[in-house]
Amino acid sequence: QQPVQSPQAVILREGEDAVINCSSSKALYSVHWYRQKHGEAPVFLMILLKGGEQKGHEKISASFNEKKQQSSLYLTASQLSYSGTYFCGRRGGSNYKLTFGKGTLLTVNP
């Protein structure tokens, strides 16, 4: 089942912060975050494996609340290069297939 992402889109000015949320109605064994720039392939950002785990990637970090089956991606002091569509992915079930949400379009303006 597809994770649900919110918001669907967000517009920022350079330097502002944003939070993208991802929730699942089914058990999350791991949460994956990818970014896709326009006309390009998705690129891996990070994986969170354990409940409560937080990871960081430059000024982008994420948390994973296993109990609530939720993950959040935090973008601080956004840069123009952060623009793109962010996808969260859920690995679950016995076969660990990776199912993505519909994505959050992030636009950072000067």
Partner 1 sequence: DSGVTQTPKHLITATGQRVTLRCSPRSGDLSVYWYQQSLDQGLQFLIQYYNGEERAKGNILERFSAQQFPDLHSELNLSSLELGDSALYFCASSVGVEANEKLFFGSGTQLSVL
Interface residue list for partner 1 (CB under 8 A):
2, 29-30, 32, 34, 40-44, 47, 49, 87, 91, 93, 95-103
Q: How far is the CB of 84 from partner 1 (least distance, A)?
A: 13
Q: How far is the CB of 103 from partner 1 (least distance, A)?
A: 5
Q: How far is the CB of 13 from partner 1 (least distance, A)?
A: 26
Is the Cβ of residue 63 or residue 110 nearer to partner 1 in the bound state?
Answer: 63
Contacts of residue 64, defined as CB under 8 A and 6 or more positions apart, other chains included, come to 28, 31, 48, 49, 50, 51, 52, 53, 54, 70, 71
Q: How far is the CB of 43 from partner 1 (least distance, A)?
A: 7
Q: What angle do CA 97, 2, 88 make, to 5 degrees?
A: 80
Is the Cβ of residue 16 or residue 53 nearer to partner 1 in the bound state?
Answer: 53
Q: What is the DSSP string of 87-108?
A: EEEEEETTTTEEEE---EEEEE
Is the Cβ of residue 95 or residue 110 nearer to partner 1 in the bound state?
Answer: 95
How many H-runs (helices) and E-runs (strands) does the chain carry? 0, 11
Is the Cβ of residue 2 or residue 79 nearer to partner 1 in the bound state?
Answer: 2
* H or E, element range at 10: strand 9-13
